[in-house]
């Protein structure tokens, strides 16, 4: 199971299923799994800074559809609070997207009236977000990017927390950045799902970029240990083209993937949007501890 990142490095999509950066160990109490030894921060930081891939760019329609669904769930969970007027008008809701990649969720948020900011370690992805989409995206990570405390109504971590060697410290930092009553939305693989338990090491979320493998129970335990209140745990299917999903089968059988893509093309299905729910990816909404949400 243990291996290296491969020739493409640590990128958001891969077909190297069943390969992690180190062996994976499991907690017998909560079922949480993580790589052992944990990769050094400097190794991960260099890898993510240089990460580049066009895969999500070509899947823009699905990424935007997924983002709209996420934003609807976030907006439904925000506690109504008095919003003081600024410059003669109401203050917009504020959103921070951590690990925003090329910024499609940020773009959708700004179109819905959010004041949205992104943080992304990849130079390729953050530059795309700034130059192609005109977004406010800072190149860096959660701990090394200067951000105002107590400034955000919502913080998004889409496929992020499973990459972090110290997720508890990340939660504490995120709590400091939220306004009183602010929430975090997370999407991540569910290592306790039927699919994950059935496929074991061959599960498609066992990939080089992941160093944490949360179950619903282990993530709830971590959040509550750091003072967060879990509001909702559900599933988080992602919309991609049929072609994208069929090409992922190449991680198990390249030949079968090619056959299926050709068949879908003949049936004129290959470019159709698809959001299958395998119930092995969870969405979590949690409210930060009030005492940690203090403005500067």
- Domains along the chain? 23-79+91-237+278-292 (3.40.50.150), 240-274 (no CATH)
DSSP E strands in the chain: the ranges are 23-26, 33-36, 85-86, 89-90, 94-98, 115-120, 137-139, 152-158, 178-189, 212-213, 229-235, 240-241, 273-274, 281-287
**Cβ contact 188:159 at 8 Å:** yes
167: helix, coil or strand?
Answer: helix
**Cβ contact 175:226 at 8 Å:** yes
**Cβ contact 63:124 at 8 Å:** no
Q: Hey, which residues does 158 pair with through a beta bridge?
A: 187
What secondary structure letter does DSSP report for 181?
Answer: E
- Give the model's pLDDT for residue 47: 87
CA distance 138 to 289: 26
- Give the model's pLDDT for residue 296: 40
**Cβ contact 103:118 at 8 Å:** yes
Could you list the pLDDT tens digit for every one of the 296 residues in the chain?
544 545 555 555 555 577 787 889 998 888 899 999 998 888 888 889 988 888 889 999 999 999 999 999 999 999 665 455 555 566 789 999 999 999 999 999 999 999 999 999 999 999 999 999 999 999 999 999 999 999 999 999 999 999 999 999 999 999 999 999 899 999 999 999 999 999 998 999 998 889 999 999 999 999 999 999 999 999 999 999 999 999 989 888 999 999 999 999 999 999 999 999 999 999 999 999 986 444 44
CA distance 114 to 153: 10
Backbone φ and ψ for 185, nearest 5 degrees, come out as: -115, 130
The answer to whether the Cα torsion of 91, 229, 156, 98 is positive or negative is positive
CA distance 66 to 88: 34
**Cβ contact 269:242 at 8 Å:** yes
Percentages helix, strand, coil for the chain, rounded to the nearest 5? 35, 25, 40
- Give the model's pLDDT for residue 293: 42
121: helix, coil or strand?
Answer: coil
Q: Is the pTM of this model over 0.75?
A: yes
Residue 185's Cβ-side half-sphere holds a number of Cα atoms within 13 Å equal to: 26
Number of other CB atoms surrounding residue 249 within 10 Å: 19
- Give the model's pLDDT for residue 16: 58
Helix-helix angle 104-111:123-133, to 10 degrees? 30
For 75, residues 6+ apart whose C-beta sits below 8 A from its C-beta are: 112
Sequential DSSP letters for 39-94: PPHHHHHHHHHT---SHHHHTHHHHHHHHHHHHHHHHHHSPP----EETTEEPPPE
């Amino acid at each position: 199971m243990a291996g290296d990142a491969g020739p493409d490095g640590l990128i958001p999509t891969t077909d190297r299923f069943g390969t992690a950066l180190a062996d994976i160990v499991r907690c017998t109490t909560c079922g949480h799994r993580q790589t052992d030894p944990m990769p050094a921060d400097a190794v991960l930081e260099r890898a993510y800074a240089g990460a580049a891939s066009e895969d999500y760019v070509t899947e823009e329609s699905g990424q935007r559809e997924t983002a709209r669904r996420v934003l609807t769930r976030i907006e439904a969970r925000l506690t109504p609070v008095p919003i003081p007027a600024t410059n003669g008008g109401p203050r917009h809701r504020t959103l921070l997207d951590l690990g925003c990649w090329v910024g499609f969720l940020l773009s959708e948020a700004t179109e819905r009236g959010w004041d949205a900011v992104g943080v992304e370690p990849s130079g390729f992805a953050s530059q795309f977000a700034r130059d192609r989409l005109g977004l406010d995206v800072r190149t860096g990570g959660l701990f090394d990017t200067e951000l105002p405390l107590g400034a955000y109504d919502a913080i998004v971590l889409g496929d992020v927390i499973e990459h972090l060697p110290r997720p508890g410290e990340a939660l504490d930092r995120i709590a400091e950045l939220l306004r009183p009553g602010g929430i975090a939305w997370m999407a991540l693989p569910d290592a306790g799902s039927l699919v994950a338990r059935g496929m074991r090491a061959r599960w498609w979320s066992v990939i080089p970029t992941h160093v944490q493998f949360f179950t619903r129970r282990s993530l709830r335990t971590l959040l509550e240990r750091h003072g967060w209140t879990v509001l909702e745990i559900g599933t988080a299917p992602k919309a991609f083209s049929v072609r994208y999903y069929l090409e992922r089968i190449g991680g198990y059988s390249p030949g079968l993937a090619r056959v299926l893509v050709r068949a879908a093309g003949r049936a004129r299905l290959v470019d159709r949007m698809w959001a299958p729910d395998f119930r092995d990816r969870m969405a979590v909404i949690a409210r930060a501890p009030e005492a940690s949400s203090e403005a500067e």
